[in-house]
Structure 1
Amino acid sequence: MGDKLLIRAFDVGLGDCIYCRIPQAHESGRDFHILIDCGSLSASKLLSQAMERLKPCLPQIDGKRRIDLLVVTHEHKDHMTGFGLKIWDDFSFGAIWMSAAMDLDHPESQRAAKLHSLATKAMERALALNLALSPPLRELANAMALNKDAMATLRATLPKASNITPVYVHAASTEAELSLPIREASLSILGPEKDIDHYYLGKPGDPSLRSTMALVDSGTMDAAALVPAPDDVPLPANLDPADFRKLRSRMVSSALAFADLDGKVCNNTSVVLLIEWRSKRLLFVGDAEWDQGYRQDRPNCSWNVMWNRQGKHLNAPLAFLKIGHHGSVNATPWRMPDTDAGEPAAILDAILPVAAKDGAKAVVSTRRGNYETIPRTDLLAELGKRVANARNYANDFKTAGLKTSDVPMFEHYESAVFGQPQPRRTDLEGMLGSPGYVDVEIEA
């Protein structure tokens, strides 16, 4: 195991907390240790447990457990809420990388920053209305409201404690900006592009964004106007209470429209990290999304931008893929049922060809519940045809004496492909008795 590269996906429910150890890759001759994200939409205790399990894997330097590189892919709770917890006193960091979209001063993401600020404030006010939001919408609102402590920790507390400056990365980041004490391995950033506003929001006035970005670009809309606080909206004497409730619901709908667009931009500006080690290629994609094709000067998804802008890095088979967005339908490019082959299918065939000479491996950190349709199991079945570490969970559940009825929403979302091989899943591995994580080893 000492000469193998290790990827460990901690079981944190619906979230990502990914550890990568590159053997003897530090300039000093020891292993090089990377943590990618620490967040969950499930219980916070899962993140605390993951960090306790991580400690023995790390070297102790000056009394602290050393993480040589921390990568925070994007500003969503399921990837960063752990940084708002009091669990970091025993760790030190050699470098911290975050998406350029998280840099408040990044000149080419000012429109995205305005959208994010307005969406966050609007959702905070929408929550104050205390309407009966559906579980996914309430999760969205809470996710945006609870990231402040985490961002303060990432921008100030952790860097100060380790005497470093965080680096906001993008595909045009220079070697000097990405300098690390690493040997026999290279790390490249494939996304996001530096010009975030251009590639992920398109030109101002783009009709595909309808009125949402027009309001942001105009500078005339603020959160108070979009979603008045409860005290600002007394029941008018001439308005029926039922009609007033409808009015407040429309206010919340407006906030959700901004939040939905902001969430999409946030996913598509995820840090996409390519690690190359001894001729092996490993790709960690955050929550990058895909669409049917790249469109010049229009809002685009991350995978399409990478395919057209970073094709020389992307257009080759992988040894490992961290499956994006917990197995969501729009996070790993593929040919969906009843659709024509196009750019998404070409991307998947390039990175995970069906008949790969050296079998690739993959893992997905997921748990069904917060979002019923995540993971998308027919997508996982397609990926199961393309990776060497796929597992037939139907056989394994039968051997272990487990009931499929214990799998959340089994009949609706799992039964059709449960007997087909799938990549390793943290949720099902947990039911089969995993030690709180799923390991994937890559040999040189």
Structure 2
Amino acid sequence: MARPSKEKSAAKKTAAKSAVKSAAKAKKPGGQAPATAPQPGAAGGSAYRAKIRMYRQGLGDCFLVSLPRTDGSSRPFYLMIDCGVVLGTTDPGTIMTKVMEDIVQTTGGKIDVLVATHEHWDHLSGFVQAKASFDKLQVGEVWLAWTEDAKDPLTQQLKQQKGQALAALRMGLSALQIAGDSDGAEELGGILEFFGAAKGPTTTDALTNVRAKVTAARYCLPSDAPVVPSGASARFYVLGPPHDEKMLHKINPSATNQETYGLAMGLSMFMDGAGTALAEKDGGRPFDQQYEIPFAYAQTAPDLKFFREHYFQPDGAAPDNWRRIDGDWLDGASEMALQLDSLTNNTSLVLAIELTPGGDVLLFAADAQVGNWLSWQDLKWMVDGKTVTGPDLLSRAIFYKVGHHGSHNATLRQKGLEEMTSLRVAMIPVNHDMAVKKRWGKMPLDELVDVLKQQAKGVVLRVDDPAMPASRENVVEGPDKLFYEITF
């Protein structure tokens, strides 16, 4: 992609210079103002410190980070973070293949580190939808959160709970469909789509393809020492997920302490209620099976005219329609599915990439929610004789990959965005039109977007927004609008 044209209007030049100057004033001492974007993939001789490419495949995450080498090589150090799009996207195989092929071409078919942040379809689908292209990529290392380490006891516990909940919820979805509760089935089905289609590849299949790239994956913990990969001009800190079950289960803001901008049914409650009735062996049924009449049979059997006359008349004509419970006993399913979805978000692998020299930070928060964010406040590492803390890294963040597509519970206020006093650029991988179709009308949250624009001096890039920011000296757009790329 060529550099942005120099033949801009005087007004645009003035606005761009003003925004860049403002950003330069806001940065930490020792930092460096963004340079004009070089050719994507180029490294030798360019003054850039990092390039971040956000793909615009739809509602989902896929990022490619390029860092200059410290060993004299002209080939950048490449970090790929996630590759997926939400179910319901038009022709997802084609678009994800296009994305993956661009990554193969840009990197010369070699990624130094591949990160899969958490087990959600909109972050992993490309690893199965574009497998033929993914197979062309050589991968040096695979990084996963500790929550994917089968040897970890807490992982084992979480996986068991998740498996039980998914099995019960999918059976609950079938029950809602049989009962004719189309609204309930649509709502529950939309949430379960984050774990893959009911029939077809799942997030587990996607992670299997990711793991197959290396002999052994690295399972990252916040207690790990910062990593400086060989030849890379950066230091990598793991901020989350916390190895703390209580913090993982803190998925929403407190009622008395609104930590964020802008479901109270636990797994045990659901499994003791509707989940029990959906289990293979149900010891808590209201009636013995010998006294039950299958729902479909009661509606159609010639000898059960009574039920049709009293319970199954259209438009409320049946006098006893109010007695029907149909899928009412599954009312907690959607709440439980939301909690399972949010818990999975909270297991997100969060990385803070410290650029060297200078110390500016790139923050990739995946879909981390409240408990994950709060845990960063207590993190500390000893680096070169100095203590580095979680809040310190946030204060030096010049880039923020906005959490969970800009939703209400994935960017903390006081202990999050307000600490990012050096922020210059935010990227939001969101498609609002698709979010509306999925009944997530407040994705992204307008209030959060407004604050981001103030905090990042107006440079906020969205997957679904074709408008470039006033300061675009360091931003390029890919061919066919495939990506936005920012250069620092």
Give me the TM-score of the superposition, normalised by structure 1: 0.72
Work out whether residues 228 and 234 of structure 2, in 8 Å CA contact, stay in contact via their aligned partners in 1.
Answer: no
Determine if the alignment matches structure 1 residue 365 to structure 2 residue 429. Answer: yes
**1:31-180 correspondence runs (5 A):** 31-41=76-86, 42-43=89-90, 44=92, 45-59=94-108, 65-85=109-129, 86=131, 87-129=133-175, 130=177, 131-133=181-183, 137-146=188-197, 149-155=202-208, 157-160=209-212, 162-174=213-225, 180=229
RCO greater where, 1 or 2, for CA within 8 Å and sep 6 or more?
A: 2
Q: Report the secondary structure of 1:282's partner residue.
A: strand
Q: Which stretches in structure 1 are left out of the alignment for 5+ residues?
A: 60-64, 203-207, 291-300, 335-344, 391-422
Work out whether residues 307 and 347 of structure 1, in 8 Å CA contact, stay in contact via their aligned partners in 2.
Answer: no
Q: C-alpha distance in 1, partners of 2:272/2:73?
A: 50
Q: Which protein has the larger Cα radius of gyration, Structure 1 or Structure 2? A: 2
Work out whether residues 173 and 188 of structure 2, in 8 Å CA contact, stay in contact via their aligned partners in 1.
Answer: no
- How many residues were matched structurally? 366
Amino acid at match of 2:335: A
Name which of 381, 394, 397 aligns with 2:450.
Answer: 381
Cα deviation 1:350-394 (Å, max 9, x = unaligned)? 12x2xx4xx62111111113321101122111110111452xxxx
Determine if the alignment matches structure 1 residue 185 to structure 2 residue 231. Answer: no
Using the TM superposition, give the Cα deviation of residue 29 of structure 1 relative to its aligned residue in structure 2, in angstroms. 6.1
Work out whether residues 212 and 257 of structure 1, in 8 Å CA contact, stay in contact via their aligned partners in 2.
Answer: no
Amino acid at match of 1:47: M
Cα deviation 1:180-220 (Å, max 9, x = unaligned)? 4343311111001223x243238xxxxx96653356699x9
User: Percentage identity across aligned positions?
Assistant: 23
**1:193-204 correspondence runs (5 A):** 193-195=242-244, 197-201=245-249
Amino acid at match of 2:215: I
Amino acid at match of 1:350: E
Cα deviation 1:122-162 (Å, max 9, x = unaligned)? 2322333424146553221222243954423423x4444x4
Using the TM superposition, give the Cα deviation of residue 347 of structure 1 relative to its aligned residue in structure 2, in angstroms. 2.9
What CA RMSD, in Å, does the superposition of the two structures yield over aligned residues?
3.4
Q: Report the secondary structure of 2:192's partner residue.
A: helix
Q: C-alpha distance in 1, partners of 2:376/2:163?
A: 26
Q: Which stretches in structure 2 are left out of the alignment for 5+ residues?
A: 1-37, 251-262, 299-303, 313-320, 381-387, 470-476
Amino acid at match of 1:212: L
Residue number in structure 2 paired with 1:287:
367
Q: C-alpha distance in 1, partners of 2:64/2:224?
A: 23
Give me the TM-score of the superposition, normalised by structure 2: 0.66
Using the TM superposition, give the Cα deviation of residue 73 of structure 1 relative to its aligned residue in structure 2, in angstroms. 1.0
Residue number in structure 2 paired with 1:234:
294
Determine if the alignment matches structure 1 residue 7 to structure 2 residue 52. Answer: yes
Residue number in structure 2 paired with 1:420:
none
Would the alpha carbon gap of residues 115 and 321 (structure 1) be closer, same or farther in structure 2, given more than 3 Å must change?
same
Cα deviation 1:377-419 (Å, max 9, x = unaligned)? 22111110111452xxxxxxxxxxxxxxxxxxxxxxxxxxxxx
Using the TM superposition, give the Cα deviation of residue 174 of structure 1 relative to its aligned residue in structure 2, in angstroms. 4.9
Q: C-alpha distance in 2, partners of 1:245/1:53?
A: 55
Name which of 416, 440, 455 aligns with 1:347.
Answer: 416
Using the TM superposition, give the Cα deviation of residue 431 of structure 1 relative to its aligned residue in structure 2, in angstroms. 10
Work out whether residues 351 and 363 of structure 2, in 8 Å CA contact, stay in contact via their aligned partners in 1.
Answer: yes
Determine if the alignment matches structure 1 residue 425 to structure 2 residue 462. Answer: yes
Using the TM superposition, give the Cα deviation of residue 249 of structure 1 relative to its aligned residue in structure 2, in angstroms. 4.2
Amino acid at match of 2:127: F
Amino acid at match of 2:122: D
Name which of 319, 327, 332 aligns with 1:248.
Answer: 327
Using the TM superposition, give the Cα deviation of residue 289 of structure 1 relative to its aligned residue in structure 2, in angstroms. 1.5
Residue number in structure 2 paired with 1:212:
267
Work out whether residues 23 and 32 of structure 1, in 8 Å CA contact, stay in contact via their aligned partners in 2.
Answer: yes
Cα deviation 1:250-274 (Å, max 9, x = unaligned)? 32x3333332221111111111101
Amino acid at match of 1:289: Q
Would the alpha carbon gap of residues 110 and 8 (structure 1) be closer, same or farther in structure 2, given more than 3 Å must change?
same
Would the alpha carbon gap of residues 179 and 27 (structure 1) be closer, same or farther in structure 2, given more than 3 Å must change?
farther
Amino acid at match of 1:12: Q
Residue number in structure 1 paired with 2:389:
312
Q: C-alpha distance in 2, partners of 1:21/1:112?
A: 34
Work out whether residues 33 and 69 of structure 1, in 8 Å CA contact, stay in contact via their aligned partners in 2.
Answer: yes
Q: C-alpha distance in 2, partners of 1:27/1:255?
A: 56
Q: Report the secondary structure of 1:319's partner residue.
A: strand
Using the TM superposition, give the Cα deviation of residue 32 of structure 1 relative to its aligned residue in structure 2, in angstroms. 0.7
Work out whether residues 112 and 201 of structure 1, in 8 Å CA contact, stay in contact via their aligned partners in 2.
Answer: no
Q: Report the secondary structure of 1:266's partner residue.
A: helix
Q: C-alpha distance in 2, partners of 1:201/1:329?
A: 17
Would the alpha carbon gap of residues 365 and 217 (structure 1) be closer, same or farther in structure 2, given more than 3 Å must change?
same
Q: Report the secondary structure of 1:20's partner residue.
A: strand
Would the alpha carbon gap of residues 93 and 226 (structure 1) be closer, same or farther in structure 2, given more than 3 Å must change?
farther
Q: C-alpha distance in 1, partners of 2:464/2:170?
A: 31
Determine if the alignment matches structure 1 residue 332 to structure 2 residue 431. Answer: no
Would the alpha carbon gap of residues 215 and 246 (structure 1) be closer, same or farther in structure 2, given more than 3 Å must change?
closer
Cα deviation 1:68-96 (Å, max 9, x = unaligned)? 11111111111111122233121121111
Using the TM superposition, give the Cα deviation of residue 179 of structure 1 relative to its aligned residue in structure 2, in angstroms. 7.5
- Using the TM superposition, name which of 259-268 and 96-105 deviates more: 96-105
Using the TM superposition, give the Cα deviation of residue 25 of structure 1 relative to its aligned residue in structure 2, in angstroms. 4.9
Determine if the alignment matches structure 1 residue 302 to structure 2 residue 302. Answer: no
Q: Report the secondary structure of 2:464's partner residue.
A: helix
